[in-house]
Structure 1
Amino acid sequence: MNYFFLMLYGNKSIPQYSPSNIVLWFILAFQAGLLNIGGFMAINKIISHVTGFATFFGYEISQNQNIHALGMLSVPLFFLLGSMLSGYFVDLRLKLDKRPKYYITFGIIFALLSVLLIGGVTGQFGQFGEAFEINRNYALLIILCLVCGIQNGTISTVSKSVIRTTHLTGLTTDLGLGIVRILNKKKLKNQINDEEKINLVRFGIILSFILGSVAGALIFRSLGFIGFAVPTIISGILFGLMLYFQVYRPAT
């Protein structure tokens, strides 16, 4: 069995910091950076942070925009739905000692991003970069949140709730805690394990997200909605790999 594809074959979460997991996390953090900057540049809204939508809700209420406020409050429900989908196809099956269906969660991501790409290019979401209009841009917003929820839920399960790839708040907090542990490892003695490696992985994920955002800014500035072809292609490749190794060439 190819070690890199253990995640795709296995019926349990493989070791958290195996090469296959780390590579996958870096790729997905890069993709999340692309999606975040793409969503922001397309409709001037941050798309993967549940906390931000609570802030938007409060702002819209203060402006007496009650319909907009309800729209902003409902968006995180799609992030929650995405997490629930990954919970059903991945987390629940792992807990039942069954093979997780990664190919389904990544297939859904690929399908959603394909819809987003086609809708954007054909003008279904208005002009790229225009001011947010809930009647026109709501569908784009919920698709992106749904994608991030599925991705975050899947990777959270694989990493045993250690890693998140669609936003950096928790990861940065963990990195700060980890740095303090390393600086005081003599006092902690045997209470920390592989903290240096873990912090390098956290830093790598943060860097991958930032690189995705920088690359995305250049791509979307030049291509507009066509820029969503990049994360669509990435998710399509991952979906294809998982479909091949889990369905067409399953482990014996």
Structure 2
Amino acid sequence: MPFSSESSPGNRRAYTLLSLLLAGVAGLVNATGFVALGLHTSHMSGNMATLGESLASGNGPLAWLAAQLLLAFLLGAVSASALLELSRQRSRGRHSAALLLEALTLGGIGAWLASHPGAREPTLMWGLAYAMGLQNALVTRVSGAVVRTTHITGIITDVGIQLVRLVSWLREGARGHGVRGLRQRLGALPTAIEFERTRLHLGLGSAFLLGCTAGPLLFVRLGAATLALPCAVLVLLVALDLSAVATGSQALPRA
């Protein structure tokens, strides 16, 4: 578990960096994809609902598109899991293949959009869903199924859970010790695991929102070149992953 009393502070910092950057990437890709193509390509709950509603209303083309997006997301998750499994025994770059594949997918979509402005080609929607499936599986594996970065429902749920756990932790410190115990817990708050978890999930929500805000704003001004930003973030994470071994440190957590 990345955020437990057994994990090292360095591992928790690396996990936080990876999660926050990828949450921002997901928010940007999701919102930019909606502006460019008219669909939220990381929102699989919505696509499943669209599939059911379309089947019920007899809208075959929309049902088929929703099914394709679900399948593309699944294939992305399978691809990331397979790449992580193949790299498990490597001493370096365990995450690099999945991160590079996501960057290449987003870069290819951006290049196609740049040469065909205004087009809404279904293949591009499949590509974005595939990239988000890749990312979601990567973070799920690295975090031990604690966090997903491509959708906000779980993040908001985790914030609520962690806030209650944080209050319970403070209350336990005060039990039997009164105000003195509460002060001691408050003093230990910045380094407490409970606070780190709460801060992480609040940060994930904020990073996703920042990406959702920045994506459309940049797309209006830069067009398809906006997708160069998430690609740059992914390449940076690859560089950190590879440099971890070169420096003898752990820049990214192990899957």
Q: TM-score, normalised by structure 1?
A: 0.78
Q: 1:83 touches 1:149 (CA, 8 Å); kept in 2?
A: yes
Alignment: residue pair count: 225
Q: CA deviation at 1:137?
A: 2.5
Q: CA deviation at 1:205?
A: 0.9
Q: Which residue of 1 aligns with 2:253?
A: none
Q: Which residue of 2 aligns with 1:184?
A: 168
Q: Which residue of 2 aligns with 1:111?
A: 104
Q: Which residue of 2 aligns with 1:44?
A: 38
Paired residue secondary structure (2:150): coil
Q: CA deviation at 1:89?
A: 2.1
Q: 1:16 touches 1:159 (CA, 8 Å); kept in 2?
A: no
Q: 1:110 touches 1:239 (CA, 8 Å); kept in 2?
A: no
Q: How does 1:137-216 map to 2 (within 5 A)?
A: 137-185=121-169, 186=171, 194-216=193-215
Q: Which residue of 1 aligns with 2:188?
A: none
| Aligned mates of 1:153, 1:176 — CA distance in 2 | 23
| Aligned mates of 1:224, 1:15 — CA distance in 2 | 40
Could you tell me which runs of 5 or more consecutive residues in structure 2 were left unpaired when the two chains were aligned. 176-191, 250-255
Q: How does 1:1-252 map to 2 (within 5 A)?
A: 18-90=12-84, 94=88, 99=91, 101-123=94-116, 127=118, 136-185=120-169, 186=171, 194-243=193-242, 245=244, 249=246
Q: TM-score, normalised by structure 2?
A: 0.78
| Aligned mates of 1:57, 1:71 — CA distance in 2 | 8
Residues 182-237 of structure 1, C-alpha deviations (whole Å, 9 max, x = no match): 22333699xxx722210111101110111111111210121222211211222233
Residues 47-90 of structure 1, C-alpha deviations (whole Å, 9 max, x = no match): 11211111221333345321331221121122111111221222
| Aligned mates of 1:233, 1:187 — CA distance in 2 | 45
Q: 2:84 touches 2:95 (CA, 8 Å); kept in 1?
A: yes
Report the identity percentage: 27
